[in-house]
């Protein structure tokens, strides 16, 4: 099963670099590398499903409906109980080429359930990254204080300085 870190890597695979949106997963080798790091098999079908799941989750977290895409990823997936040494264990059945995409959606659902309201887009409108707020107060606003936070604070300061009349 994919964890929070894998989910964030997938969600943040479309950063803005020098003012232009990049898609790190546009390169088949990059998606295959990520997939193999997480137990995937690689290949065209797995890449297609991973990109579909990632795009749908980004859309949902950005406030856009992605229900049809999520339904496609999850179509035919079944959770089946199996007796185990310590009782009943749940096994998720799905086509092998869709396993990582389904696990990505399940990791997202798990984060939404365990940490409600903590997964969100960066407040910098020029940024396309997401953050998982682990702060006690749940007040994080930026993907990175070092980059987006400092930039936005500097812009606000400059705007206030322009508005303040200078002594003569």
Domains identified in the chain and CATH numbers: 4-163 (1.10.3300)
pLDDT range class, residue 144, cuts 50, 70, 90: confident
Q: What is the mean pLDDT of residues 63-80?
A: 96
Question: Which residues have a Cβ under 8 Å from the Cβ of 25 and sit 6 or more positions away?
Answer: 13, 14, 31, 34, 47, 50, 51, 54
What average pLDDT does this structure show over 37-47?
95
* Low-confidence winner among 89-98, 99-108, 130-139, 159-168 (lowest mean pLDDT): 159-168
Degrees to nearest 5, angle at CA 22 with 7 and 9: 15
pLDDT over 90 (residue 156): no
pTM: 0.86
From 49, 35, 62, select the one nearest 102 (Cα to Cα).
49
Measured in degrees and rounded to the nearest 5, phi and psi for residue 17 equal -125, 125
């Amino acid at each position: 099963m994919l964890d929070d870190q894998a989910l964030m890597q997938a969600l943040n695979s479309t950063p803005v670099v020098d003012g232009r949106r990049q898609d790190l997963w546009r390169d088949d080798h990059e998606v295959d590398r990520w997939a193999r790091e997480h137990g995937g098999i690689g290949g065209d079908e797995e890449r297609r499903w991973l990109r579909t799941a990632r795009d749908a989750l980004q859309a949902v977290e950005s406030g856009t409906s992605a229900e049809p895409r999520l339904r496609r990823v999850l179509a035919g997936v079944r959770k089946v109980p199996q007796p185990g040494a310590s009782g009943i264990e749940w096994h998720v059945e799905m086509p092998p080429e869709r396993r990582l995409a389904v696990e990505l959606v399940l990791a997202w659902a798990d984060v939404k359930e365990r940490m409600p309201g903590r997964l969100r887009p960066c407040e910098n409108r020029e940024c396309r990254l997401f953050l998982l707020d682990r702060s006690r107060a749940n007040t994080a606003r930026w993907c990175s204080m070092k980059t987006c936070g400092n930039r936005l604070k500097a812009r606000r300061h400059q705007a206030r300085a322009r508005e303040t009349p200078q002594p003569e």
